[in-house]
Amino acid sequence: MTTITTTRVLAGRPVFPIGLGCMSLSHGYGPAADAAAAEALLLGALDRGVTLFDTAALYGFGHNEELLGRVLAPHRSRFMLASKCGIFRENGQRRIDGRPDTLRQTCEDALRRLRTDVIDLYYLHRWDKSVPIEDSVGALSDLVRAGKIRHIGLSEVSAATLRRAHAVHPVAAVQSEYSLWSREVEIAVLQACRELGAALVAFSPLGRAFLADGVPDAAALDAADLRRRMPRFQPGAFEHNQALLEPLRQMARERGCTPAQLALAWLLHQGEYIIPIPGTTRLAHLDENLAAAGVQLDAETCGVLARLFSRDPGGNRYGTIPGVLMTLRGPPPAPGQFLTH
């Protein structure tokens, strides 16, 4: 039996094993959350012991950082604040730009919106491949020396890129999608994180609510919901993926927990350096997610779950969304590079 500790270490600080991804409060799955409901969710998370709040300049194009600044600034000493740079809006489009001057300006804007003097963990949201990763990380290291950020993170990078970046300045965390049905990081990134002492912060740990049994009908999703345009939620692929859920439901029933809790518990049992950041707009779902830290699994159960989802899910994680493609300085995005997170 593996025991989950009450805290994990991120950037040298203890944090609750499950953090809060804040994107859905501003965009991604339909209209932004009502201001009062968003405030209640953030303060509720803080009161329940959440110590990692994750945002980005991209989320709502500044709206999410402003929300966290307005609600959480009075409680700044009680939590670790993570944000991201390198993707922003220009002329109505998302643009990846990792030039040092851009990253420095994005940080200044983020500090203002977040109403803080320093960001604890600042990620390069995506690597702009027209700029050497060493140059982008070098700019972030300048921000560390200036006292504007405390630690550097990278999002969705390969193990090789992580090592190159780490040679310039220690990388405290890599944020990548990781869940039972998104396992690419197991190829090399997890090992690199272990060797370098970096945490793996797992976004979409519930497969965008799929593993929480929260998407019974993809066709009924809000027209603005990003999942309407993701390959895994398209006709054919969605039905294929639905077949994966019944064994998960059955195993959850046998263990007295929900599918969401079982999926999060599996992720927590993959290593003490892994910190999931599920997002939600509902306090009931927040309580459900946080309770996963108390679900104990043995190695046999973890192995069964891994094998159940070992076959490739129907559809890629990301697709091309007509009219919404991010512009990129340099060559066009590689397959799968289009990003809403």
The 3-class SS string of 163-232 reads HHHHHHCCEEEEEEECECCECHHHCCHHHHHHHHCCEEEEECCCCCCCCCCCCCCHHHCCCCEHHHHCHH
In the set 29, 59, 122, 123, the catalytic residue is 59
Residues in the chain: 341
Number of H helices and number of E strands within the chain? 11, 13
Planar angle of CA 23, 25, 28, nearest 5 degrees? 55
Tokens of 170: 């220690």
Max CA-CA distance within the chain? 54
CB 251 within 8 A of CB 305: yes
User: Can you tell me the distance from the alpha carbon of 40 to that of 329, in angstroms, rounded to the nearest whole number?
Assistant: 39
Cβ-Cβ contacts under 8 Å for 98 (sequence gap 6 or more): 86, 124, 126, 127, 128, 130, 131, 133, 135, 136
59 is catalytic: yes
Give the strand pairing for 93-96 and 87-90: antiparallel
The set of catalytic residues is: 59
